């Protein structure tokens, strides 16, 4: 999963390095935001794999992948904008901020715990 997570991060960071404008918030990001983005990719890749294992299909993992994006779209539609000040990067509600990897890590830990509990009962 480490390699897949790093490939996923590179998929996003190569356009950032080339400054093509796909991810302007990352192009202007401080180094810690780039590090948080890479950590998010690693955590999220593991989370998607676990969701796939639990659901038995990549469609289930895709639903898990879509959930944060739906939440983010809802927040933006409700008028809760993305922070635009450089010092607000930890609160950015997507990979690159600290909120996203912490929530993804919490979900991953809960899923691993329930997976272990189900295995002990079976």
Structural domain count, the chain: 1
**Given a cut of 80, is residue 108 above it in pLDDT?**
yes
Tell me if 5 sits within 8 A of 42, measured CB to CB: yes
Tell me if 42 sits within 8 A of 2, measured CB to CB: yes
- CB count, 10 Å around CB of 103? 16
pLDDT digits (tens, 9 = 90+) for 6-62: 887 888 889 889 988 888 878 888 888 899 999 988 988 888 888 888 888 888 888
pLDDT digits (tens, 9 = 90+) for 55-74: 888 888 888 777 777 877 78
Containing structural domain, residue 43:
2-121
State how far the alpha carbon of 102 is from the alpha carbons of 25, 28, 87, in Å.
19, 22, 18
DSSP 82: P
Strand partners, 33: none
Tell me if 101 sits within 8 A of 95, measured CB to CB: yes
pLDDT at 121: 66
pTM score, whole prediction: 0.74
């Amino acid at each position: 999963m480490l390699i897949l997570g790093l490939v996923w991060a590179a998929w996003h960071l190569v356009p950032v390095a080339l400054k093509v404008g796909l991810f302007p918030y990352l192009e202007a990001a401080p180094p810690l935001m780039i590090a948080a983005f890479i950590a998010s990719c690693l955590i999220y890749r593991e989370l998607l794999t676990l969701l796939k294992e639990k659901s038995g299909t990549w469609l289930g993992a895709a639903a898990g992948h879509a959930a944060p994006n739906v939440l983010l779209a809802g927040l933006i539609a409700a008028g809760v904008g993305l922070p635009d000040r450089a010092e607000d990067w930890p609160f950015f509600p997507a990979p690159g901020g600290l909120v996203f990897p912490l929530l993804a890590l919490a979900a991953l830990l809960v899923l691993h715990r329930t997976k272990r509990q189900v295995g002990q009962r079976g």
